Amino acid sequence: MNAQQPRRVKHQQTDKGYVPVYTTAIVEQPWSSYSETDHHTWATLFERQREVLKGRACGEFIRNQERFGMSADAIPRFEDLNKVLAKATGWQLVGVEGLLPELDFFDHLANRRFPVTWWLRTPDQLDYLAEPDLFHDLFGHVPLLLNPVFADYMEAYGRGGVKAHGIGAEALVNLTRLYWYTVEFGLIREAGELRIYGSGIVSSKGESIHCLESAAPNRIGFDMERIMRTRYRIDTYQKTYFVIDSFEQLMDATRPDFTPIYQRLASQASIPAGTLLDEDEVIQRGSGEGWATDGDV
């Protein structure tokens, strides 16, 4: 596939489970080394998802993706996207080999640098791969970095991550769940209807449909502390999706210092991924059809 293969250094517990963590180095995107197959894979995924996301992804996602001029023609160059980002919100993409150790990741976000995996999945992995690749990172995460409120949220999350890392492993687990259920798998209400903004969803054809149309999952109103207690799935579709009303709501809820919240949560049990609570604002009670019975992270 590519001239260089990503180098795995070791396995580590991260927000994606126990997975290979790569070198922490920032790498130049080796754009000229992408093969015809790579560009073709990008084109296939791009066209397929743009179609699936019509009427499913939130307006901000679609509009901002168009502002970047991303297209099926070729894998975008980070330096072109960075020109657009620099003017709009000051974010910059940096190329990486893959997942980073948590503290490195947080430090990038806190400084408005978004790490993007430079390599792309192979043609037999169009529907699923266990770790983020260029398609997930670029197609999925980058568009919302043009939204000023979401851009600030991501930076604040990075700073919060550095802090949580200093507080301890449990605080980090609480914070990681917030990332998971918002940045990766969040839904948003738009003109009274549910739309997708989470990157883990928009980069997956199957989950883009499942999260909105399936009777299986729960869909409940955003509640920050509730999310921080909720376990999640890394190897199946989510059992529960949390719905925000706006990115401002997300920003406002996460503005306070989390230190006392981490302390309060330390004495509370975690909630299994598919469990509903009496106090939940239930938008849809999931049927639970097809749910795995174990394996929540």
Residue 249 is a binding residue for ligand PHE (CB under 6 A): no
Query: How far is it, in rounded angstroms, from Cα 248 to Cα 265?
Result: 24
> Of 106, 119, 150, 153, which lies in the binding site for ligand PHE, with binding defined by CB under 6 A?
153
Q: Is 136 a catalytic residue?
A: yes
Q: Are 139 and 45 in contact (CB under 8 A)?
A: yes
Q: Is 165 a catalytic residue?
A: no
**Smaller CB separation from ligand PHE, 157 or 197:** 157
Q: Are 134 and 180 in contact (CB under 8 A)?
A: no
- Select from 253, 252, 245, 242 the least CA-distant residue to 280: 242
Query: How far is it, in rounded angstroms, from Cα 130 to Cα 128?
Result: 7
Q: Locate 97 and state its tokens.
A: 């080999």
Strand order in the sheet with 240-244: 193-196, 187-190, 240-244, 218-221, 282-284
> Of 119, 135, 139, 157, which lies in the binding site for ligand PHE, with binding defined by CB under 6 A?
157
Which one is catalytic: 60, 102, 131, 136?
A: 136
Residue 108 is a binding residue for ligand PHE (CB under 6 A): no
- Select from 213, 62, 202 the least CA-distant residue to 137: 202
Q: Minimum Å distance from CB 151 to ligand PHE?
A: 12
Give the range of 26-34, 35-43, 64-72, 154-162 binding ligand PHE by CB under 6 A: 154-162
Q: Are 156 and 210 in contact (CB under 8 A)?
A: no
**Smaller CB separation from ligand PHE, 255 or 285:** 255
Q: Is 9 helix (H, G, I), strand (E, B) or coil?
A: strand
Q: Minimum Å distance from CB 244 to ligand PHE?
A: 12
Q: Is 203 a catalytic residue?
A: yes
> Of 5, 169, 192, 257, which lies in the binding site for ligand PHE, with binding defined by CB under 6 A?
257
Q: Is 39 a catalytic residue?
A: no
Site for ligand PHE in 160-199 (CB under 6 A): 160, 163, 178
Query: How far is it, in rounded angstroms, from Cα 11 to Cα 181?
Result: 23
Q: Is 258 helix (H, G, I), strand (E, B) or coil?
A: coil
Task: Give the count of residues interacting with ligand PHE (CB under 6 A).
Answer: 11
Enumerate binding residues for ligand PHE (CB under 6 A).
153, 156-157, 160, 163, 178, 254-258
Q: Catalytic residue positions?
A: 136, 141, 184, 203
| Sites of contact with Co ion (CB under 5 A) | 132, 199
